[in-house]
Amino acid sequence: MSTQTSQRSNKDKVLIFDTTLRDGEQCPGATMTFDEKLEVADLLDSMGVDIIEAGFPAASDGDFESVAEIARRAKNAVIAGLSRTGLADIDRCGEAIKPARRGRIHTFISTSPLHMSVKLGMTPEQVLQSTIDAVTRARSYTDDVEWSAEDATRTEMDFMCRIVEAAIKAGATTINLPDTVGYTTPQEYQAMFETVRARVPNSDKAIFSVHCHNDLGMAVANSLAGVAGGARQIECTVNGIGERAGNASLEEIVMAVRTRGDVLPYEIGVETTMLNRASKLVAAVTSFPVQYNKAIVGRNAFAHESGIHQHGMLKSALTYEIMTPESVGVSKTSLVMGKHSGRAAFREKLKEMGYDLGENALNDAFRRFKDLADRKKIVYDEDIAALVDDEIVTANDRVRVVALTVIAGTNGPQSAALTLDIDGDKRTHQATGNGPVDAIFNAVRALVPHSATLELYQVHAVTGGTDAQAEVSVRLSEDGRSVTGKGADPDTLVASARAYVAALNKLEINRARGKAGALRAT
Ligand code: KIV
Ligand code: ZN
């Protein structure tokens, strides 16, 4: 779809398999609601991701429904569902991907001695038979079946070759050899693919895939090394979110291949100018902030602060820039927004920033922008992004913050009078606490009784200046499942109330969809 694609059509195609909605979503606090998952999937589909792993259908009814709905909506990508090797899991996954134009069942089982004996309590022969049965069953639903050897990088080579051969013979069309625990190194991972491909007699009948976790910070380097070893599919996530230290980051892989085509001669179909938008959307819906110095999409990725660098940049951007901000969708600000800006300019600004809001969401966001512009001299792009992201995430919330008055200061007890709209019903409660934030949260607890525990409360300023908006993150946990809510406002206490309520809304949505306490894969 992109111009790069047509220019590189003589190069080997490497498929991008995005697992933000599965491996990414299952890390603590990154839970997304059904609507958020659809929004992320739509964006991934339109940016040219080849395969979207939409979820783990046997994990919960909520996961099943979102995989099925994403399968129904996808226009371009293959939609994959994850499944253990149990036949009931495979059947559930097969049903979930049925509506897809092109659907894939991705089944996995551990193959390392440690995992087989300690985690599964199975012998290698049982694991082998389970693989054959699962792949055979999966092929009765689709001819696109991926099989993964969980903990492949700690698996004995003889057994690996035997089981890979058996999986391909049973009908697997993609073989994924994950570095589940983020333990391997580039040389080792490359050699593993070279050896397996050379030793397995039917290896030419399947596409090999890399899947790397980032525990030692080598996930992207390892993924590219696996490709050098012959893999032609890379599994990755937007912003690198995922279990523990995360997965290989999609934007880093795509831009490494695009920028270093001289040594990475592969064709990738992802439209790079949509990377920044994807990063922002995933950060907003998961409430996982992107590290400032994160490659490609971090706030500082294209900022040049030191005098020497600025001097060079003024003469030629090539002195310190190996790729342009525009190539990843970071546009130079052309419209400066303030309290005199009208609706048309606001709509134009959102378009420039990559947002595509429906009429109702646009009206709500514009109202909040006007309110902000009245209180803040300069409204930066970051301010607009914070309030629009807030609007997108809270659009269908059952509980909303209506009003808040706080008494704070040296003479306690601090207190908060909070009014919430709960399913259209306005209720007010006054509470005290050990500080104003505690008082607000106590008021929320009184108005919406719940058993979730507070795991994290975090504040950061969206921009500089004392009139900057505060962006607050609140993580709540219930039944072993964590969700994060975010709120933005120039008043830190209002932002805190919004963030807590946003997290509660997410918990409520997940409860309703049977998500709490759901299963996880690695
Ligand atoms: O890390 C891993 O091994 C996985 C598999 C389920 C593919 O995520
Ligand atoms: Zn994984």
- Asked whether residue 146 carries a pLDDT value surpassing 80, the answer given is yes
Q: 318: which 2 tokens?
A: 């090539």
Distance CA 55, CA 88 (A): 16
Q: 158 and 197 share a domain? A: yes
Atom index in ligand 1 nearest the CA of residue 106 equals 7
Q: How far is the CA of 246 from the centre of ligand 2 (A)?
A: 8
What confidence score (pLDDT) does residue 335 get? 65
For ligand 1, is residue 148 a contact (CB within 6 Å)?
A: yes
Same domain for 379 and 439, yes or no, is no
* Residue 144 and residue 114 in one domain: yes
Same domain, 336 and 405: no
Q: What is the pLDDT of residue 361?
A: 85
The residue ranking higher by pLDDT, 379 or 228, is 228
138 assigned to some structural domain: yes
379 and 428 together in one domain = no
Amino acid present at 455? E
Binding site membership of 144 for ligand 1 (Cβ less than 6 Å) = no
- Tracing tokens 């995360």 back to the chain, one arrives at 246
Whether 259 and 341 map to the same domain: the answer is no
110 and 43 together in one domain? yes
Residue 6 has pLDDT above 80, yes or no: no
Strands 414-422 and 399-407: antiparallel
Q: 1 lies in a domain?
A: no
Ligand with the closest atom to the CA of 81: 1
Domain boundary among 350, 368, 393: 393
Residue 237, pLDDT > 60, answer yes
Choose one of 19, 20, 22, 23 to mutate for the ligand 1 pocket test, by most ligand atoms within 8 angstroms of C-beta.
23
Tell the residue nearest (CA) to atom 1 of ligand 1.
Answer: 180
pLDDT score recorded for residue 307: 64
Taking the CA of residue 22 as reference, the ligand 1 atom at the shortest distance is 8
**Co-location of 389 and 410 in the same domain:** no
pLDDT tens sequence across 167-184: 999 999 999 999 999 999
Q: Tell me if 320 is assigned to some domain.
A: yes
Average pLDDT over residues 246-252: 98
Task: List strands edge to edge, sheet with 414-422.
Answer: 399-407, 414-422, 425-433
Residue to mutate, 108, 155, 214, ligand 1, most ligand atoms under 8 Å from C-beta: 108
Q: Which CATH number fits the domain that encloses residue 486?
A: 3.30.160.270
Answer with the one of 393, 426, 443 that is the final residue of a domain. Answer: 393
Whether residues 146 and 250 share a domain: the answer is yes
Domain count of the chain? 3
Question: Per the domain annotation, does 298 fall within a domain?
Answer: no
Pocket test for ligand 1, best of 53, 84, 522 (most atoms within 8 A of CB): 522
Q: In the predicted model, what is the mean pLDDT of residues 120-126?
A: 98
The encoded tokens of residue 406 equal: 């706080």
Say yes or no: CB of residue 521 within 6 Å of ligand 1.
yes
Residue 360 and residue 246 share a domain? no
pLDDT tens digits, one per residue of 290-312? 998 999 999 888 876 566 666 67
Where is the domain boundary, 393, 420, 454?
393
| Residue 460 included in any domain | yes
Least confident of 58-67, 242-251, 330-339, 461-470: 330-339
In angstroms, the Cα distances linking 415 to 407, 412, 428 are 5, 8, 13
Look over the chain and give the mean of its residue pLDDT values, rounded to a whole number: 90
Higher local confidence (pLDDT), 85 or 358: 85
Write out pLDDT tens, residues 308-340: 666 676 777 777 789 999 999 987 655 678 888
Tell me whether residue 221 is in a domain.
yes
Give the atom of ligand 1 at the shortest distance from the alpha carbon of 148: 7
Instruction: Ligand 1 pocket test: pick from 180, 208, 213, 244 the residue with the most ligand atoms within 8 Å of its Cβ.
Output: 180
387 and 241 in a common domain = no
Predicted pLDDT at 465: 79
| 155-161 own/partner pairs: CB under 8 Å, 24+ apart | 155/111, 155/112, 155/113, 156/112, 156/113, 157/192, 157/195, 157/196, 157/199, 159/111, 159/124, 160/111, 160/196, 161/195, 161/196, 161/199, 161/200
- Indicate whether 207 and 331 sit together in one domain: no
CATH number of the domain within which 94 lies: 3.20.20.70
DSSP state of 237: B
Measured in Å, residue 250 CA sits from the centre of ligand 2 at 14
Does the residue 342 lie in any domain?
yes
Q: Is 150 helix (H, G, I), strand (E, B) or coil?
A: strand
% of the chain beyond a pLDDT of 90 = 66
Query: What distance in angstroms lies between residue 82's CA and the mean position of ligand 1's atoms?
Result: 9
The answer to whether residue 71 is domain-embedded is yes
Q: Of 363 and 335, which is predicted with more confidence?
A: 363
Closest Cα to atom 2, ligand 1: which residue?
180
Domain span at 436:
397-521
